[in-house]
Amino acid sequence: MQTTEGITINQVRLDERIEQLSRIGRIADTGVCRLALTLEDMEGIIQVRLWMEEAGLTTRLDAFGNLIARLEGTDPSLPLLMLGSHIDSQPYGGRYDGAVGVLGALEAVQCLMEQGIQPAMSIEVVAFCDEEGSRFNKGLFGSRGITGQLEEGELERQDKHGVTRREALESFGCSPAQFAESVYPPGAIGAYLELHIEQGPVLESIDAPVGVVTGISGPLWLTVTMKGMAGHAGSVPMEMRHDALVGSAKVIAAFDEMVREDPGAPTVGTVGSLRVFPDSRNIIPEEVSFTVDLRDMEMARRDRLEARLMQLLEDISKQHGLSYSLTVDTNSEPRYCAERIKSMIHSSAEAMGLTLPELMSGPFHDALALSHVCDYGMIFVRSKDGISHHPSEYSSPEDITLGTEVLYRTVRQMCNGHTVIDTFS
């Protein structure tokens, strides 16, 4: 059993804030539903903003819907240090995903101020807008927004009720016409640190409360639409049908088997959303849309699986007399954490009597977007039973405290000038 020494952060304050935030959008006793740019999301932002301002930070809500709190440094010429995560959730989500990263970052900076440490560089704590992507089927919106990575057509994406992202932003008081003003100039962000729950079983399996992330796997998100012909379920013979749901089901099953072929690989594949039209029990399905989520740390292997999926779509469409189309919603290569930041995280933990294991991240995070403009590092906190995106998601207060203390000490190292924050190149 590892022992820890010298906890500086205010654990009680952090625990109370996590619990209070979890009451906003509460579902299923312990879960939350705070979809991006909804009333519940705004209520969460108002609460977190209040805590930020009580801590003495200046705050703003930018054009992308990001909540940003700033501590001014003594040297405005230096690139800033950014910390954060998100507070939006999945529709059937847990209390800790994202929230621990935002509130842990706030606690680290507030503790820094209470210790009388004056940083040379400015520090910003960010609650990024729509990391999850569950409402408009494309995530990392706020973090991609400030780094100039948005794509054409993103504002016209619709949720399940036909509300566009543009409309949702405007209802939030955010103006897409001001996007350019909210994009950070090249070199403005010197480094990014993110604390997050692991959302997987690795740390628990080795009895480690906290870990250092080595990198984030490359996600490929697709939306596939297969089209056939509707008909009466009682009168069209089986051999004459063009059933889009049967074809989709065969693709989905074959895709799952394909991803499982190498059990030693970190490859994961998921079909998490499916829509059927006209969606009646006695009509042959004419059109089916489903999502594909494929992730891997090795791009060559992911590319091979993508090619096989494309061939699978072609073959099954011909077999059932269907047509198909697809859109690429997200496509990113794996992004690796900066060695110098990993070293600081390790040394911060060692000063506490902790030896941190290293592990990769299968889920993507806002750090993925920031990795394209600056060096980044991530700290993981153990997840009970590896469960996340579910109301039973749980990380203990003790583990969260350790992770936040490591974050605080890493930030303190940077402020003391032990490692210079260089502009990303």
Going by the annotation, the residues of the binding site for Zn(2+) are: 86, 97, 132, 196, 389
Contact 247, 239 (CB under 8 A): no
Which residues on neighbouring strands pair with residue 358, listed in sequence order? 212
Beta bridge partners of 220: 294, 331
Binding site per annotation, positions: 86, 97, 132, 196, 389
What does the alpha-carbon distance between residue 274 and residue 64 come to, in Å, rounded to a whole number?
A: 28
d(CA 273, CA 50): 36
Report the chain's terminal Cα–Cα distance, integer Å: 41
Cβ-contact 117, 33 below 8 angstroms: no
> Is residue 368 classed as helix, strand or coil in its secondary structure?
helix
Of the candidates 235, 229, 323, the one whose C-alpha atom is nearest the C-alpha of residue 285 is 229
Per DSSP, helices labelled H in 273-391 are 299-320, 339-350, 366-370
CA distance 398 to 190: 30
Which two three-digit tokens encode residue 386?
A: 């590896």
Amino acid at 425: S
Cα–Cα distance for residue pair 414/33, rounded to 1 Å: 36
329 DSSP assignment: E
Residue with tokens 């609650």: 127
Please report, for the chain, how many H helices and E strands are present, in that order: 12, 16
DSSP codes, 200-227: SSHHHHTT-SEEEEEEE-EEEEEEEEEE
